[in-house]
Amino acid sequence: MGKKIQINKEFVDIMPQDYLDLVDNGTYESPNRGWKDFGTATELIAEHSLCAGCPESIAFRHIMASIPNPEDTVMVGSTGCTSLVFPMIAVHNIHSLFGNQNAIATGLKRALAVRFPDRVKDVIVLAGDGATVDIGLDMTLQSWFRKERFTTICFDNELYANTGGQESGLMQKGFLAKMAPVGKKFEKVRLPEIARESGCDYVAIMTASKPSLVEKVIKQAVLIAREVGPTYIQIYTPCILEIGKQSMEGLQEMRTSEAPGERFKFREFISPEAQSFLDGLAEKKKAEKLAATGATS
């Protein structure tokens, strides 16, 4: 636990125990934070009000464990199932309207850059597919065209879950849903490809089944957004309720959907600039490791 997040001594006796735990046993300012902290450290997301077994809650946990500098990260959400979780997350986060998340993040990131020109302040957008691809598509794309320096994460459950399972642009063709009474007539929107063409320096499509992969992707995406340009991650978080699955079947649904040839098979795009940045990071890490080994031997 670092020094930034502290409780005024006068207030310690009136703060709830879970907040004290967060301060004493949280992972703010921990340089190697990650999903392996589960079970030993207090997580930035303690509870949620999503359905039991919702894969979105799994993805949320993995992401919150993986963001590199939570003590200097502000998140932006949108309306939908994610907006029910954000109030319980222990970093500053903004909900304002439905679909405007990338516009909010644009202003936020720029304001933080004006106010803290010499400091790291990461901005991460996390919204559902309706917010990202349908109602907010204009603002999603425009932020990428402008090369805004933040990460956009889309929780893709292939429908409008919070309003009861209506058709969305990321829904698969032919799927029967509310507002698609004879099946969806057009293909799942290819936002990862569009993201690449729109200026994103890093794009990944995946599920939340593997915490180590989520951790790697999130860290890369946030660091590239900080130093190079916009990044986009699309994570399959199936709505078990709307696809007729049981609470314990979410993980298997994600695994099935990421098998070779399936629509959520892990794919990533890294721009040459982002790759050279990642190579530089790897070199630096290697050098540090070497130096540490040298110092101890």
Partner 1 sequence: MATETNSRVPQIGQRNKKNQLITDPNEMFFLSPRTPSFLTGSEVIREAIRRASVDFSVAYPITPQSEASSLVGELFAEGYVGDYMRGESEFAVMGQCAGAAFGGARVFTTTAGPGTLRAFENFPMWAGSRLPIQVVFTVRGVNSPLTIQPDTLEIAFMLETGMLLWHAETAQDLFDFMLKGYYVAEQPEVHLPIGVICDGFFVTHTKDMVMMTPEDLALPHYDPYRSPVVCMDMEVPPVRMMRDPFVMKSNYISYMTHASWQLEIRAAIERSRKHTIPILDGLIDVENPDAEIMMVASGTAVSQAREAIRLFRDKGVKVGLVKIKTLRPFPTEEIRKATEHAKHIFVPEFNVAGWLAREIKSTIDRNGRVIAGPHVAGGMTMPPEIIVEEIEKHLAHRRNKELVHG
Residue 131 or 204 with smaller CB distance to partner 1: 131
Contact flag: residue 234 with partner 1 (CB under 8 A): no
Least distance between partner 1 and beta carbon 235 (Å): 22
SS3 breakdown of the chain: % helix, strand, coil, rounded to 5? 45, 15, 40
Asked if 151 is part of the footprint of partner 1 (rule: CB under 8 A), the reply reads no
Residue 49 makes contact with partner 1 by CB under 8 A? yes
Instruction: Kindly state whether residue 97 participates in binding partner 1, applying the rule CB under 8 A.
Output: yes
| Residue among 173, 166, 170, 169 at smallest CA distance from 187 | 173
24 binds partner 1 per the rule CB under 8 A: no
Measuring CA to CA, how many Å separate 94 from each of 29, 61, 98, 115, 202?
22, 18, 12, 18, 24
| Residue position matching structure tokens 């879970």 | 18
Q: Is 19 in the site for partner 1 (CB under 8 A)?
A: yes
Phi first, then psi: give them for residue 222, nearest 5 degrees: -70, -40
C-beta of residue 76 within 8 angstroms of C-beta of residue 125: yes
Report which of 70, 122, 75 is spatially closest to residue 95, judged by C-alpha positions: 75
Asked if residue 103 binds partner 1 (CB under 8 A), the reply is yes
Which residue, 29 or 268, is less far from partner 1 as judged by CB?
29
Residue 69 CA to chain centroid, in angstroms?
13
241 is a site residue for partner 1 (CB under 8 A)? no
Q: What are the E-state strand segments in 122-266?
A: 122-128, 151-156, 202-207, 231-236
Task: Count interface residues toward partner 1 (CB under 8 A).
Answer: 48
CB of 85 to partner 1, least distance (A): 9
107 touching partner 1, by CB under 8 A: yes
Q: Which is closer to partner 1, CB of 138 or CB of 193?
A: 138
Binding of partner 1 by 244 (CB under 8 A): no
> H/E/C letters for each residue in 50-119?
CCCCCHHHHHHHHHHHHCCCHHHEEEECCCCCHHHHHHHECCCEECCCCCCHHHHHHHHHHHHHHHCCCC
Residues 127-146 that bind partner 1 (CB under 8 A): 138-139, 142, 146
- Give Cβ neighbours of residue 47 (< 8 Å, ≥ 6 apart): 88
Query: Could you tell me the smallest distance in angstroms from the CB atom of residue 181 to partner 1?
Result: 28
Binding of partner 1 at residue 7 (CB under 8 A)?
yes
CB of 225 to partner 1, least distance (A): 15
CA-nearest of 157, 127, 132, 159 to 144 is 132
Q: Is 235 in the site for partner 1 (CB under 8 A)?
A: no
Sorted by sequence, the CB contacts under 8 Å of residue 222 that are 6+ apart come out as 67, 68, 69, 73, 122, 124, 151, 231
Q: Which two tokens stand for residue 41?
A: 């450290």
Choose, by CB under 8 A, the member of 65, 104, 218, 240 that binds partner 1. 104
> Does residue 220 touch partner 1 according to CB under 8 A?
no
Binding span for partner 1 by CB under 8 A among 92-100, 168-176, 220-228, 230-238: 92-100
The distance of closest approach from Cβ of residue 35 to partner 1 in the complex, given in angstroms and rounded to an integer, is 20
For partner 1, the binding residues (CB under 8 A) are 5-7, 18-19, 23, 46-47, 49, 71-74, 76, 83-84, 86-94, 96-97, 100, 103-117, 121, 138-139, 142, 146
